[in-house]
Structure 1
Amino acid sequence: MIRFEDVRVTYDGADGPTVRDVDFTVPEGELVLLAGPSGVGKSTVLGAVSGLVPHFTGGTLGGRVTVAGRDTRTHKPRDLADVVGTVGQDPLAHFVTDTVEEELAYGMESLGLPPQAMRRRVEETLDLLGLAELRDRPIATLSGGQRQRVAIGSVLTPHPAVLVLDEPTSALDPAAAEEVLAVLQRLVHDLGTTVFLAEHRLERVIHYADQVVLLPEPGAAPVVGTPAEVMAVSPVCPPVVDLGRLAGWSPLPLTVRDARRRAAPLRERLAGRTPPPGAPPVTAAPAARPAPAARRWPRRRPPRPEADPVPRSGPAAEVRGLAVRRGRTETLHGVDLVVSPGETVALMGRNGAGKSTLLAALAGLVQPSAGVVRAAGAVPHRTPPRDLVRRVGLVPQEPRDLLYADTVAAECRAADRDAGAGPGTCRALLSGLLPGIADDTHPRDLSEGQRLTLALAVVLTARPPLLLLDEPTRGLDYAAKARLTEILRALAAEGHAIVLATHDVELAVELAHRVVLLAQGEVIADGPTADVAVASPSFAPQVAKILAPQKWLTVAQVREALS
Structure 2
Amino acid sequence: MIRFEQVSVTYDDAAAPALQGVDLTVPEGELCLLVGPSGVGKSTLLGTVSGLVPHFTGGTLHGRVTVAGRDTRAHRPRELADVVGTVGQDPLAHFVTDTVEDELAYGMESLGLAPDVMRRRVEETLDLLGLATLRDRPIATLSGGQQQRVAIGSVLTTHPEVLVLDEPTSALDPGAAEEVLAVLQRLVHDLGTTVLLAEHRLERVVQYADQVILLPAPGAAPVVGDPAEIMAVSPVHPPVVALGRLAGWSPLPLSVRDARRKAGPLRERLAQLDAPDAPAAPEGTAVTGAEPASVTGLGVRHGRVVALRDVELSVRAGETVALMGRNGAGKSTLLRTLVGMHKPTSGSVRVGGVVPQSTAPAELLRHVGLVPQEPRDLLYADTVAAECEAADGDAAAAPGTCRALVSELLPDVSDTTHPRDLSEGQRLALALAVVLTARPPLILLDEPTRGLDYAAKARLVEILRALAAEGHAIVLATHDVELAAELAHRVVVIADGEIVADGPTAEVVVSSPAFAPQVAKILAPLPWLTVPQVRTALRETP
Range of TM-score over shorter length: over 0.9
How far is 1:273 from its partner? 2.2
How far is 1:416 from its partner? 1.2
2-side partners of 1:240 and 1:519: how far apart?
28
1:343 aligns with 2:319: yes
* Contact kept in structure 2, 1:104 and 1:150, CA below 8 Å: yes
How far is 1:286 from its partner? 3.3
- 2:473 match: 497
How far is 1:275 from its partner? 3.7
1:419 aligns with 2:418: no
Kindly report which structure 2 residues correspond to 1:111-510, keeping only aligned pairs within 5 A, or say none: 111-277=111-277, 279=279, 281-288=280-287, 312-510=288-486
Superimposed CA distance per residue, residues 510-536 of structure 1 (whole angstroms, 9 cap, x where no aligned partner): 000000000000000000000000000
2-side partners of 1:64 and 1:70: how far apart?
10
- 2:73 match: 73
Amino acid paired to 1:263: A
- 1:298 match: none
* Contact kept in structure 1, 2:296 and 2:349, CA below 8 Å: yes
How far is 1:423 from its partner? 1.5
1-side partners of 2:475 and 2:233: how far apart?
35
* Contact kept in structure 1, 2:528 and 2:534, CA below 8 Å: yes
Amino acid paired to 2:29: G
* Contact kept in structure 2, 1:317 and 1:375, CA below 8 Å: yes
How far is 1:389 from its partner? 1.1
How far is 1:333 from its partner? 0.5
1-side partners of 2:151 and 2:169: how far apart?
11
* Contact kept in structure 1, 2:276 and 2:527, CA below 8 Å: no
1-side partners of 2:275 and 2:212: how far apart?
33
| Structure 1 residues without counterparts, runs of 5 or longer | 289-311
Amino acid paired to 2:520: A
How far is 1:276 from its partner? 3.0
2-side partners of 1:107 and 1:356: how far apart?
30
* Contact kept in structure 2, 1:278 and 1:510, CA below 8 Å: no
1:15 aligns with 2:15: yes
1-side partners of 2:300 and 2:22: how far apart?
50
1:148 aligned counterpart, secondary structure: helix
Backbone CA RMSD of aligned residues: 0.8
Q: 1:14 to 1:535 in 2, by over 3 A?
A: same
Superimposed CA distance per residue, residues 240-265 of structure 1 (whole angstroms, 9 cap, x where no aligned partner): 00000000000000000000001010
* Contact kept in structure 1, 2:365 and 2:438, CA below 8 Å: no
- 1:308 match: none
1-side partners of 2:362 and 2:251: how far apart?
57
Amino acid paired to 1:204: R
How far is 1:277 from its partner? 4.1
1:381 aligned counterpart, secondary structure: helix
1-side partners of 2:385 and 2:339: how far apart?
27
1:232 aligned counterpart, secondary structure: helix
Structure 1 window deviating more from structure 2 (110-119 vs 425-434): it is 425-434
Amino acid paired to 2:47: G
2-side partners of 1:95 and 1:130: how far apart?
19
1:54 aligns with 2:54: yes
- 1:303 match: none
1:29 aligns with 2:5: no
Amino acid paired to 1:75: H
2:233 aligned counterpart, secondary structure: coil
1-side partners of 2:102 and 2:277: how far apart?
48
How far is 1:434 from its partner? 1.6
- 1:6 match: 6
How far is 1:384 from its partner? 1.5
2:221 aligned counterpart, secondary structure: coil
- 1:101 match: 101
- 1:292 match: none
Amino acid paired to 1:115: P
* Contact kept in structure 2, 1:174 and 1:538, CA below 8 Å: yes
2-side partners of 1:219 and 1:426: how far apart?
28
How far is 1:16 from its partner? 1.2
1-side partners of 2:487 and 2:446: how far apart?
15
1:539 to 502, 509, 515: 515
Amino acid paired to 1:463: R
Superimposed CA distance per residue, residues 376-419 of structure 1 (whole angstroms, 9 cap, x where no aligned partner): 11111111212111111000000001000000011111111111
* Contact kept in structure 2, 1:166 and 1:199, CA below 8 Å: yes
1:40 aligned counterpart, secondary structure: coil
* Contact kept in structure 2, 1:286 and 1:313, CA below 8 Å: no
* Contact kept in structure 2, 1:275 and 1:557, CA below 8 Å: no
2-side partners of 1:277 and 1:164: how far apart?
43
| Structure 2 residues without counterparts, runs of 5 or longer | none
How far is 1:284 from its partner? 4.0
* Contact kept in structure 1, 2:284 and 2:468, CA below 8 Å: no
* Contact kept in structure 2, 1:449 and 1:474, CA below 8 Å: yes
1:524 aligned counterpart, secondary structure: strand
